[in-house]
């Protein structure tokens, strides 16, 4: 079944048409820099990349261009449903759902929890309903995989009324990625249907780790928002909450200013002074840039510390799983330095396997038979969205 997958961000639209049964991509693409003069639509089909300018167009212009493209490729008529990435589902959505008026109201009610992501996510749904009349739309939530977390993992130690009345609690994100790679790692290790405990680390411009017990999430590093947790490209991750008051008293920053700096000017960018892109930071480190080296040391130490902490939520420790652009492609220093910090837990790498990302070994980069194992799994969030959409559409 061909499914159109859409991920609408604040200034971009990612799209793909995926065969939900085989996982084959018919076409993948991106409308980027929307609302700017240099906005454009890029796509890849049969290994060939093409693009066209959008003339400063917005999301609506980009999605209309996607419709035109799919028609020209002969793909539009075969689409049976549209799957949407929605970042924040709050406590309302613990699974993917067919979109209706009540679901849209629920997504809108989560605007206060996901102010940067949910509005464009909902806009994408509205535009898809207009441009593809009659096709069912499905919302797939980043937070839903973590809905199985127990209270002890998701509650903050704040006044109970803030949780009850405002929904102040930990939700977690990157759920589709954690769900996908956890399943693939359990397959690689022969643990499907058996007791298991693994920690998955999704490392990209945004980073999070999750404790997955018997295939279900029991804890994760992100919280109320995607700012909590690990060091990321431009996000600080965990800081002392009193930092807000300190910066207000000493620099006159209000809460909005502080949150903006913690979200957009911190992380690898803030520490290294080089870039938010891990490739550039690693290159600078190898060239002798001390701040870049420090940024990598902080990144890997904080990641290892989080992984060790997440093991507390498991009954056993079978594996660490690396995924995302950084996790999949950076054997040295990221995977090597992180695992070195975890030696006390029995984590060990095989240098040769790590160097080639576990090729020929089902992604396993630890010595043969070693437990806990270390595994590299390429993520495929779009396939998860396509499969969830196909399953729900098939019930319509």
CA distance 371 to 312: 17
CA distance 197 to 338: 19
SS3 345: helix
- Whether residue 219 lies in the annotated active site: no
Cβ burial of 131 (10 Å; 0-12, 13-18, 19+) is middle
CB atoms within 10 A of CB 223: 19
Phi, psi angles (nearest 5°) of residue 180: -65, -50
Options 2, 142, 219, 318, the catalytic residue: 142
Strand ranges, E, within the chain: 2-8, 13-19, 25-32, 40-45, 48-53, 79-86, 97-98, 137-141, 197-203, 207-213, 216-220, 319-323, 373-376
- Comparing CA positions, the residue from 135, 147, 29 lying closest to residue 88 is 147
> Tokens in use for 65?
């261009």
User: Which residues are bridge partners to 17 per DSSP?
Assistant: 4, 27
Rounded (to 5) percent helix, strand, coil in the chain: 40, 20, 40
- Comparing CA positions, the residue from 375, 378, 370, 376 lying closest to residue 345 is 370
- Strands 319-323 and 373-376, by their bridges, are parallel
Cβ burial of 72 (10 Å; 0-12, 13-18, 19+) is exposed
CB atoms within 10 A of CB 55: 10
- Strands 137-141 and 97-98, by their bridges, are antiparallel
Cis geometry, peptide bond prior to residue 221 (ω within 30 degrees of 0): no
What is the DSSP code string of 194-257? S--EEEEEEESSSEEEEEEETTEEEEES--SSTTSSS--SS---S--TTHHHHHHHHH---HHH
> Tokens in use for 194?
């058996």
- Which positions are catalytic? 142
């Amino acid at each position: 079944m061909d499914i159109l997958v859409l991920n609408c961000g604040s200034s971009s639209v990612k799209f793909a048409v995926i065969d939900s049964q085989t996982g084959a991509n018919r076409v993948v693409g991106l409308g980027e820099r929307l609302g700017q003069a240099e906005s454009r639509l890029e796509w890849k089909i049969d290994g060939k990349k093409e693009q066209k300018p959008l003339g400063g167009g917005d999301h609506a212009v980009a999605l209309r261009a996607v419709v035109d493209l799919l028609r020209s490729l002969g793909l539009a008529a075969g689409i049976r449903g549209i799957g949407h990435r929605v970042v924040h589902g709050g406590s309302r959505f613990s699974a993917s759902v067919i979109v209706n008026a009540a679901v849209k109201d629920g997504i809108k009610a989560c605007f206060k929890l996901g102010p940067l992501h949910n509005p464009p996510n909902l806009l994408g749904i509205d535009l898809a309903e207009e441009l593809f009349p009659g096709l069912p739309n499905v919302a797939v939530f980043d937070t839903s995989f973590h809905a199985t977390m127990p209270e002890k993992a998701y509650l903050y130690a704040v006044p109970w009324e803030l949780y009850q009345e405002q929904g102040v609690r930990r939700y977690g994100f990157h759920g589709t990625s954690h769900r996908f790679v956890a399943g693939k790692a359990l397959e690689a290790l022969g643990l499907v249907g058996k007791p298991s405990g693994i920690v998955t680390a999704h490392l990209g411009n945004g980073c999070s780790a999750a404790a997955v017990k018997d295939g279900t999430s029991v804890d994760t590093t992100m919280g109320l928002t995607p700012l909590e947790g690990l060091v990321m490209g431009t996000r600080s991750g965990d800081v002392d909450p009193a930092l807000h008051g300190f910066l207000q008293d000493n620099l006159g920053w209000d809460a909005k200013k502080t949150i903006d700096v913690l979200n957009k000017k911190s992380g690898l960018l803030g520490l290294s002074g080089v870039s938010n892109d891990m490739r550039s930071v690693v290159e600078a480190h190898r060239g002798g840039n001390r701040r870049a080296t420090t940024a990598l040391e902080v990144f890997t130490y904080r990641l290892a510390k989080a992984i060790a902490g997440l093991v507390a939520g498991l009954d056993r420790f079978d594996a660490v799983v690396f995924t995302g652009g950084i996790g999949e492609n950076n054997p040295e220093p990221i995977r090597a330095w992180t695992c070195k910090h975890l030696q006390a837990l029995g984590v060990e790498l095989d240098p040769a396997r790590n160097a080639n990302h576990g090729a020929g070994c089902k992604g396993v980069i630890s010595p043969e038979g070693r437990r806990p194992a270390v595994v590299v799994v390429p993520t495929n969030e779009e396939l998860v969205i396509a499969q969830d959409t196909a399953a729900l559409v098939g019930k319509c």
